[in-house]
Structure 1
Amino acid sequence: MRSDGATIDGATIDAPLVRALLSEQFPAWAALPLRPVDEGGNDHRMFRLGDALSVRLPSAPGYVPQVEKEQSWLPRLAATVPLPIPTVVGAGRASARFSAPWSVYGWLEGEPAWSAAIDDPERFAADLARFLVALRGADTAGAPAPGPHSAFRGGPLEHWDDEMRDLLLRVEGSERDGAAGIWRDALAAPHTGPTTWFHGDVSTHNLLVRDGELSAVIDFGCSGVGDTACDTVIVWTHLHGAARGVYRRELEVDDATWARGRGWAIWKALIMLDSRWPAQVALARRVLERLLDER
């Protein structure tokens, strides 16, 4: 596969390759212990480097633009948000060994929220919402609009309308009617306000927890400046009980944004219904049930 001149096969990204890249470009770190991170994500491969660093490489050509975006924008966003985000400490360049840019980050301690014990879910929801509100306030001058780099998160839902017609065939009867209605409502509530920063992938894999509290937000690969409705989806995927109401209140977005958020959520749920992973199918069923119960 090729994109922007890069040829990348994620299956070949391993510790020996990373060690060679470090020796070539950052020799001071090349002798540090190196091990893969199991929960490093799908779009990138991650390795822990010593105790204080990590190395992150795009796993396919389509993810290459995310690297330079993070290298450019994370330092600027860090001053705006109330929680730690990844810090770029080394910008690796494309070379004969690896034909794309890559990054060395400071290591952020914490356990992904999907597996962590959260002491106060309502506080967790409030802290997350306040982080996203602060992110929306970051300077947008020259920032990236939605596009392939963000998997079109932050853009108009119409981009997925053709695909959605096929996805709706994965459910039947009242479920299909309800899902189609949610999608119609989302398309009927277009984004008309100012464009602001969005994270684009607010999932429990990208939220770190320490001592029972939200401690950091990671993976800004799908971020950009556009419509923040995509950042509402966690209210259906992972928040429960009173925490859902706290998140809705603290996020401070209008009804049209929530309608588009339901569109994003139903689109993603229908995709996951066909997953080969039983846990994802179960999550998709829960999200679908929640969305349909709200109608």
Structure 2
Amino acid sequence: MPIGYGWHNRTVTAPVADLDVDADLVARLLRAQHPDLADRPLRLVANGWDNVIFRLGDDLCVRLPRREVAVTLLVNEQRWLPTLAPTLGVSVPAPVRVGTPGEGYPWPWSICEWFPGEIASLVPVVERRAVAGELAAFMNRLHVPAPAEAPVNPVRGVPLAVRDEQIQDRLASGKLAREDELRALWDELRAAPVWDGPKVWLHGDPHPANLVLRDSSLAAVLDFGDLTAGDPATDLAAAWLVFDAPGRAVFQAGIEADTATWRRARAWALAIGTAIAVFADIHPGLADAGEHAITQVLADQG
């Protein structure tokens, strides 16, 4: 069944909301700020980790922060995605309308396009191979030098040493299988030379639940909340997060990167994959993605 904007029948046990957002509140906001859209059908499709998403008619959705910590992330998307979107060659959730505080709701919010398709995390890995070249092309277009005022993210695009303490704690948590193997691999990979090129634009969260596929093509890339600038290896972790070995080979062939960058990318796949696995109890919709990433990272002999 087609889905859109990356959500459909997903089970997510999200953190407690700072503010409950219901359809009545969204309807009031629409009537007050975008009255030409207020008569469209409105349906809750996700009460997610950071945002609530309502489908608005057939082709739009409303995205509202449910936690204060997510507000800056949404503002970053509103600020930068309209500039980046025309260059990327793939649909992204650049807002088609923006909303402001009102009707008792204290934060900005967005109206975005609804992207029909299937999220890649629900598509068999073998079928994901078809989009490996397209995802590589998307990253080539995205990974250009970013301006000095690009959003700062303390956990994405940074040197691996910055993440070491957190990753070591995760690998000692008792929540992961094959912890000794993962720790040895992390210790090896984090010794890769640091990125010494310009800080480039990064998506920041390149796991398969943020990709929408349709008709064996890459239809959209979602959730730019971690948008930042830094080492492209963070995004190149998709080689292990999204694909198996044949898909990874196609993806890697489409990107010009040196051996050190691919080593860091594998380390980032380990970091992101273990995070998904450790938090599988509160984000079960991604449990398989975490297991996949860990299996691919450990199995790869490259």
Q: Smaller-chain TM-score range?
A: 0.7 to 0.9
For 2:245 and 2:191, how far apart are their aligned partners in 1? 28
Give the C-alpha shift of residue 171 in structure 1: 5.3
Does residue 1:95 correspond to 2:102, yes or no?
A: yes
- AA paired with 2:101? A
For 1:31 and 1:66, how far apart are their aligned partners in 2? 29
Secondary structure, aligned partner of 1:19: helix
TM-score, normalised by the number of residues in structure 1: 0.85
Does residue 1:180 correspond to 2:183, yes or no?
A: yes
Secondary structure, aligned partner of 2:172: helix
For 2:125 and 2:186, how far apart are their aligned partners in 1? 32
- AA paired with 1:78? A
**In 2 relative to 1, CA 290–113 (structure 1 residues): closer, same or farther, beyond 3 Å?**
closer
For 2:123 and 2:183, how far apart are their aligned partners in 1? 35
The counterpart of 1:147, out of the listed 113, 131, 153, is 153
Identity %, equivalent residues: 34
Secondary structure, aligned partner of 1:205: helix
Does residue 1:164 correspond to 2:164, yes or no?
A: no
Q: Which segments of 5 or more consecutive residues in structure 1 lack a partner in the other structure?
A: 1-7
Secondary structure, aligned partner of 1:222: coil
Secondary structure, aligned partner of 2:96: strand
Q: What is the match of residue 205 of structure 1?
A: 209
**In 2 relative to 1, CA 282–217 (structure 1 residues): closer, same or farther, beyond 3 Å?**
closer
Give the C-alpha shift of residue 279 in structure 1: 6.5
**In 2 relative to 1, CA 132–157 (structure 1 residues): closer, same or farther, beyond 3 Å?**
same
Q: What is the match of residue 4 of structure 1?
A: none
Check conservation: 2:208, 2:289, Cα contact below 8 A. Answer: no
How many residues are matched? 283
Q: Which segments of 5 or more consecutive residues in structure 2 lack a partner in the other structure?
A: 1-15
For 1:56 and 1:274, how far apart are their aligned partners in 2? 24
Give the C-alpha shift of residue 121 in structure 1: 4.0
**In 2 relative to 1, CA 146–210 (structure 1 residues): closer, same or farther, beyond 3 Å?**
same
Does residue 1:115 correspond to 2:122, yes or no?
A: yes
TM-score, normalised by the number of residues in structure 2: 0.83
**In 2 relative to 1, CA 145–182 (structure 1 residues): closer, same or farther, beyond 3 Å?**
farther
Q: What is the match of residue 59 of structure 2?
A: 52
**In 2 relative to 1, CA 192–203 (structure 1 residues): closer, same or farther, beyond 3 Å?**
same
**Larger relative contact order (C-alpha < 8 A, sep ≥ 6)?**
2
Check conservation: 2:157, 2:204, Cα contact below 8 A. Answer: yes
Q: What is the match of residue 3 of structure 1?
A: none
Check conservation: 1:124, 1:213, Cα contact below 8 A. Answer: yes
Give the C-alpha shift of residue 130 in structure 1: 0.6
For 2:274 and 2:219, how far apart are their aligned partners in 1? 31
Give the C-alpha shift of residue 243 in structure 1: 1.0
Give the C-alpha shift of residue 74 in structure 1: 1.0
Give the C-alpha shift of residue 185 in structure 1: 3.1
For 2:180 and 2:139, how far apart are their aligned partners in 1? 32
